[in-house]
A = this chain, B = another copy of it.
Amino acid sequence: MSRPAPLSGFPEWLPSDRIVEQHLLDTVRRVFELHGFASIETRAVEPLEQLLRKGEIDKEVYVVRRLHGTDEDADSLALHFDLTVPFARYVLQNAGHLEFPFRRYQIQKAWRGERPQEGRFREFTQADIDIIGRDTLAFHHEVEVALVMAEVFRALPCPPAVILVNNRKLAEGFFLGAGATDPGAALRSVDKLDKIGPDRVADLLMSEAGLSAEGARLCLRLAAVRSADTSFVDEVRALGVSHPLLDEGLAELAAVVAAAAARMPGAVVADLKIARGLDYYTGTVYETQLVGHESVGSVCSGGRYDALASDGRATYPGVGISLGLTRLMSVLVGRGLVSASRSVPTAVLVAVTDEDRRHTAEDVAASLRARGVSTEVAPRADKFGKQIRYADRRGIPFVWFTDTDEGHAVKDIRTGDQVAADPAAWQPPDQDRTPTVVLSSPDEETRS
């Protein structure tokens, strides 16, 4: 077999970058669990007809069939393209066994057949939280999920993140108050602002959403409003548009921003041009920018939906937000911002004096592992210099010798310091127990 080539859009990491990814995954999970979210996983496949009915139907999905299957079951299954559609199905399927409001997190891969480009993959990992109620779900959960994700970003080794929030009621109420006959069309037009610019959006607002030139101008002014505190309320009021739905949306968005400003100043910002493509959102919507890396797109998005799932007896409203872990990795690792202190979990390599004494090295390793210290035994009784280089190439900080003049000794191969050590008691310094993951150049990056 000649050397295989990577598959475009299907990222794989070398061991040291995988340690970074594991650190992100562990951090995300820890914060989710601190907030009482329960883990679930769903199967990778869903019935194709369900996937095409829901959500982003313009996305390319991967169809799956058994190589030797019958024609009958051909193309009936496809890989899920997000974790929301499978979760909605899981809730309907298991509603009788779940307690509502049901708080779940889900960290899994998803697949889309789109053309790969920066920050856009064919296979990628998402980390979602959703809170779903039966028939009702209190508004305060819309504040909560934003704060949980803000806490995740504070805990991650990454540039500052800003969660941008808007509210569908606010937008729809404003569009209606400004004279739109089709507020959905107005929303889709404003969503194109970054792509096609204000002039062409104004044209669309008039041609598609039934707005006057003045109404379109007001909508564009609304989309320019952005504030880290509740001052956006007065800015919107000053535009002179009124509608009951607008009042409701302004109050809700102000509550999200005020709560976030109190608990995590700067983490959440009202940005009234945020639209989100998906039809099913009905309240707060979220997008997240990494400061200095806005071009990669949103790394964490979601919103409130009043009826993602319904089974005839009950409707399940929810609010959810989804962190794009692979996109985040593509920034942190792809741009060299973050690195791991070593490529293996190992803290100690036990040197082997000669092959007949391998069992002595294995005894030491067993003793260290029993106290939670990740330990390898050298694969060959080479000269010690070669065994030290084995450790050095992997970033293993300590090499243990079983047969020095003072008996057992451990060497920090970064400094060369060697001290006598008791295999039944020695511990590595805390910062060396497991690989650490750090922002490579925090000064440069957090200032950019």
Contact = CB atoms under 8 A, between A and B. Distances in A.
Contacts of A14: 94, 97-98
A278 to B, nearest CB: 17
Interface string A343-383: 11110000000000010001000100100111110011000
A63 interface: yes
Contact of A64 (B64, B310, B372): B64
A244 B38 CA distance: 58
A391 to B, nearest CB: 10
10 contacts: A1-B310, A3-B93, A4-B50, A13-B40, A43-B123, A44-B44, A44-B109, A60-B69, A62-B65, A69-B113
Contacts of A39: 15, 18-19, 22
Given A65-B63, A123-B44, A379-B138, A374 B35 contact: yes
A163 interface: no
Given A123-B44, A344-B36, A1 B311 contact: yes
A327 interface: no
B41 A12 contact: yes
Contact of A67 (B45, B113, B372, B379): B113
Query: Interface size bucket, A side?
Result: 35 or more
A238 interface: no
A425 interface: no
Interface stretch (A99-107, A167-175, A405-413, A440-448): A99-107
Contacts of A44: 44, 79, 109, 111, 123
Contacts of A120: none
Given A43-B7, A66-B62, A311-B3, A379 B141 contact: yes
A335 interface: no
A10 interface: yes
A224 interface: no
Given A3-B93, A43-B10, A379-B141, A99 B393 contact: yes
